[in-house]
Amino acid sequence: MALITVENLKKRFNLEAGFFAAAGRYVYAVNGVSFSIAEHETYGLVGESGCGKTTTARMLVRFYESDAGSIRYRDGIDAAKLRGAALKRYRERVKYVFQDPARSLDPRMSVYEVLTSGYRWSSSWPGHSTARREAAAILEETGLSGEDLERRPAEFSGGQRQRISIARGLLMKPELLICDEVVSALDVSIQGQILNLLLDIKERRGLSFLFIAHDLKAASWFCDRIGVMYRGELVEEAAAEDLYLKARHPYTKLLFRAVSGGAAPVPEGGLQGGPEGGLRGEVKTALAEIPGCAFAERCPLAEERCRREKPEFRAAGPAAHRVRCFRAGE
């Protein structure tokens, strides 16, 4: 059963370039993204910086309002239209863990205040004495100590601060935890500890996860399914194991090549005619709606049709594997 279903989600931002900037110019950040997350599933959104994955995640919790599309939660409730108490209850069920705990944890607060600052305004606030017991228990569950409640965030290491952020997200017993690049700012050894912690929490609590990352290999290890984003679009989606072994979109193959370093197998099919290095150029901000394939300007396989027509997001191989490319599988 789907816990949350996103359909044709879109978001554009006004292009701010000074007082004399031309009116009516926009950055097209998310361009018709659709996916679903099942109960107890970990779904990954992966891509380079600027591809729109964080904007997509923030629309799910209404940090940003979507311009179009729907966010269906459980029995068909459109979260994009919730207001007041209904939105408050939805945000208690869907929690967000930020990338940089040094910036998301208020240094003036104690750990107890950090954990309960949102909880005390929720519909399930149990009072301070019970909340303190729950906060101590959640700290211990995330690998810290209940005795840390009166300490300040600055007294902890980066990995410990991220554990506090995770504990804050878990305190109200959510059903979906959105983890936005939660390990990207940590040392490699600490990254493994945090990912193992999240796996333990998932099994213990039966949670669903939306895992935002730029490291496709780490996401393939951690996630059940993965959607690969480029310039605001999903270009490929598959079960993590299938994507790792049989990536079909040229962009996905190049992402794997960039992180493999010879240690991981290059997905079958290769990139015939592609550059020996990695990706050519950089991700360009979309300042207009893209008529064709979003990846065409950097793709070593692109032809004129790719620049003129938008490929459908079609099945490729197993039923759960979809790709947006005319030449996928060549």
Mean pLDDT of the residues in the chain: 88
Q: Residue 266: what pLDDT? A: 38
Write out pLDDT tens, residues 207-251: 999 999 988 988 999 999 999 999 999 999 999 999 999 999 999
Give the pLDDT of residue 167. 96
Q: Residue 20's pLDDT band (boundaries 50, 70, 90)?
A: low
If you average pLDDT over residues 85-108, what whole number do you get? 90
pTM for this model (two decimals): 0.90
Nearest to 280 by CA among 314, 303, 250: 250
Q: Which of 113, 190, 110 is nearest to 158 (CA)?
A: 190
Instruction: Give the range among 97-111, 160-174, 207-221, 232-246 with minimum mean pLDDT.
Output: 97-111
CB atoms closer than 10 angstroms to residue 6: 24
Band of pLDDT at residue 188, cut at 50, 70 and 90: confident
Where in the chain are the domains? 2-106+174-323
Instruction: Judge: domain 2-106+174-323, CATH 3.30.1360.40.
Output: no
Burial 148-161 (b: 16+ CB within 10 A, else e): bbebbbeebeebbb
**Model confidence at 316: pLDDT above 70:** yes
| pLDDT of 181 over the 60 cut | yes
Q: Which amino acid is at 220?
A: S
Summarize the confidence of residues 91-106 as an average pLDDT: 89
Tell me which H or E stretch contains 300: none
Residue 254 is classified by DSSP as: H
Confidence of residue 282 (pLDDT cuts 50, 70, 90): low
- 3-state secondary structure at position 108: coil
